[in-house]
Structure 1
Amino acid sequence: MTVSGKTRHRFRCRYTSMPSPTSSLSSSYRNPGGSVSSSSLYHHASYLRRGKLVLGIMDFKWTLVFVITLLNLQPSSANGNGTVERKVHVGFIVDTQSWMGKIVDSCISMALSDLYLRNNHYRTKLVVHTRDFHGDPFLVLSQALSLLQSVELDALIVAESSGGVKILAGLGSRVKIPIISLFAAAPSLSFSQHPYWIRIGEDESSQAKGIATIVEEFRWRSVIFIYEDNDSAREFLPDLITSFEETDTRIALHIALLTSSTDGDIIDQLKKLMDLHTSVYVVHTSPILASRLFLNAKWLGMIGKEYAWITTSMITNFVNSMDPSVIEAMQGVVRFKPYVPSSKAVRRFEIRWSKNIDGNQNLQEIELNVCMVYGPMI
C-alpha cells in the first residue's frame, strides 16, 4: 500500500509479510474500538489523505541538466588517437563496509558503464575518484580534503547521512564546487547558507508525515519513538514531532539506544516500556540494532495484539537481508519505505543488479529501493 501525494516519489507502507486480505494479522493492532485486521489496515491506509505528503526531493531533471552542463563546460584534451575529449573529475566518498555504501558504489559503477555504452559518441569522460571513510564520520572531511589536494575536482558526491555532511556543505561554499548528497540532509542546511550543497535524497519530513497519518487514522493517542543515538536519527525527531503536532497524537516518550547497546541494555529499556500505558512504537535505527531490538521484543512477548510497531525506511530498506529469525520476529510490523514505481527500466535495472552482485548473499536479498536509484540518476 502507498501513502502519497502527487509527487514523483511516494512512501510505501507495508507489512514485513503481508497476509492475504481475508486473514487477520498474526499480531493485530489495538485501537479504542478493538482489534484491527490486516485487511482493515490495508483498506484504510490506502485511502489516507494523499495530498498531505510532499516529498521535498530536488527535481531529478534539474540534477541531470546540471551534470550535463558541467560535462560540456570542461576544458578539452586530446587522447592518443587525436580525438578531443573533456574530462570531468568527480570525487565520491562512501563507506564501502556498509550495506548502503556497497549498494550505492555498485549502482554508480553500473550507471557509468551504461552512460558510455549507450552514448559512445560522447566526447566527455567522467572520472570518478572514490575514497572510503570506513564508517567514521571524522574521516569524511579528511577524505574530501585529500581529494581536493590531489585532484582538481569538478564535483563531490557523498554517500553519508550523519554529521559529516554539515562540514562538507560548508566546504563546498569555500572551494566553490557542488557537493551532491545522496541522502537526506539535516534540516539546518539551507540553500541560502550553502548554495553549493545539492541533495537528491528523500526528505525525511515526508516519511514523518506518513507515519503520523497512519497513527492518526487508527486513533492511537500516543506513541513512543525509539531511535539510535546518532546525528541522523536525532535529526529525524523534529520532523516527527512537527508531524504529530498536526494530529491528535502525541509523542509520549523518545528512547535513545546506543549503537553499542548490549542485549541486556535493550531488554532493560523494553521492560521499562512494558510498564507504560503507551504500546505504539516508531523505530528509527540501523538494521543491525533493529534486528536485536525486535528479537528481544519478541522474546519479551511485545510482538502481539497488545502492541503496534512501525519502522522507518532506515530499517525497511534492508529487511529482506536480515536473518530469518529477525524477519519472523517482525511479523505484523508496519514498514515505511520510499516507493519506486514499477517500469520496464526498473525491471531491467533489477536484473542487471542481480547479476552485478552475484555471489554476495547479503546484497542479493536486498529489494530494489530508492537509494539504489539515486546513484545512477547522478
Structure 2
Amino acid sequence: MKLFFFFLLFFSLYVEFSRGQNGRTEVNVGVVTDVGTSYSDVAMLCINMSLADFYSSRPQFQTRLVVNIGDSRNDVLGAAAAALELIKIKKVKAILGPWTSMQAHFLIEIGQKSQVPIVSYSATSPFLTSLRSPYFFRATYEDSSQVNAIKAIIKLFGWREVVPVYIDNTFGEGIMPRLTDALQEINV
C-alpha cells in the first residue's frame, strides 16, 4: 500500500503542473495483475484504499488517477497483451505490476519501446537489474537479498544438508549462485 501511495504521489505531482482548462486532470494508469486471484483482489483493494486516502487528505490536488486493469491471465504472453492494450487503447502513462519476474521481463521491453514506466512491486529476479531500462522501477528487493535470511535460519537449526527448491528457468536460477556461496560459508 505504501508503494502505491508513493506511486500516486509521484504521478499526481508530475501531472499537477499540466492541468486542463477546468483545473481538473485525469491520468490513466494501468495495473497488470492476475484478475480473480486472491492476491489481485487484495492488491486492488489496497490501491483503491490508497487512492481514497490520498485524495481525502489532499483535496487541493486536482489530478485524479484513473486505474485501468489489465488481466495477465497468470501468463507471460497474457501480461504482455494486457500491457499493450493498456498502452495503446487506454493510453496509460504508467503501469504497476506485473506479479512475476518472467512477466516483468517482457513488460520492461514494452515499457522501453513505448516509453511508459513500469513499476514492479514483486518481480525479484536479479537478472532484471541487468536490463537497465530507464522505464523500469523495481520497488522490492531482489531474490539475492533473501540469501542471508535463509543462511541464518539454516544455521540456527544446525542443519548440515539442505535441498534448494526453485523454478528451473533463468529467473528461478538467479538466486542459486549467491545461495550456494552463502551455504558454503557455514559449511552446508
Shift of 1:199: 1.0
What SS does structure 1 have at the residue aligned with 2:68? Answer: strand
* The one of 135, 141, 148 aligned to 1:202: 141
| 1:211 is aligned to 2:154 | no
What is the CA-CA distance between 1:166 and the residue it aligns to?
0.4
Structure 1, gaps ≥5 residues long? 1-58, 250-378
**Structure 1 residue 238: Cα displacement:** 3.9
CA distance in 1, matches of 2:6, 2:68: 24
Paired with 1:100 and 1:202, the residues of 2 have a C-alpha distance of 19
Summarize the Cα distance change of 1:94–1:214 in structure 2 as closer, same or farther, 3 Å threshold. same
Change (3 A) 1:231 1:102: farther
Counterpart of 1:122 (choices 51, 61, 65) is: 61
Residue ranges of structure 2 left out of the alignment (5+ in a row): none
Partner of 1:279: none
Instruction: Work out the number of aligned pairs and report it.
Output: 186
- Counterpart of 2:19 in structure 1 is 76
Partner of 2:46: 107
Tell me, in whole angstroms, the C-alpha distance in 1 between the residues paired with 2:71 and 2:104.
15
Contact 1:96/1:105 (<8 A) preserved: no
User: What one-letter code is carried by the residue in structure 1 that aligns with 2:137?
Assistant: I
- The 3 A distance-change label for structure 1 pair 203 and 186 is closer
Letter of the aligned partner of 1:154 in structure 2? K
Per the alignment, do residues 246 and 99 of structure 1 end up closer, same or farther by CA in structure 2, a change over 3 Å counting? Answer: farther
* Alpha-carbon distance, 1:61 to partner: 9.7
TM-score by length of 1: 0.44
Give the SS at the match of 1:225.
coil
The alpha-carbon distance between structure 1 residues 85 and 246, as it changes in their structure 2 partners (threshold 3 A), is: farther
* 1:110 Cα deviation from its structure 2 partner: 1.1
Rg larger for: 1
Aligned counterparts of 1:192 and 1:231: Cα–Cα separation in 2:
14
* Larger strand fraction of residues: 1
Alpha-carbon offset, residue 229 of structure 1: 5.1
For the residue of structure 2 that corresponds to 1:188, the secondary structure is helix
- Identity score, percent: 27
Matches within 5 A, 1:78-227: 78=21, 83-190=22-129, 193-227=132-166
* In structure 2, C-alpha distance between the alignment counterparts of 1:143 and 1:161, rounded to whole Å: 14
SS of the residue aligned with 2:153? helix
Q: What letter matches 1:129 in structure 2?
A: N
Higher relative contact order, structure no. (Cα contacts within 8 Å, ≥ 6 residues apart)? 1
Instruction: Give the counterpart letter for 1:169 in structure 2.
Output: I
- CA gap 1:242/1:104 in 2 versus in 1, 3 angstroms: farther
Mean CA deviation greater in 199-208 or 230-239: 230-239
| Amino acid across the alignment from 1:211 | I
> In the TM superposition, what is the alpha-carbon distance from 1:62 to its structure 2 partner?
7.6
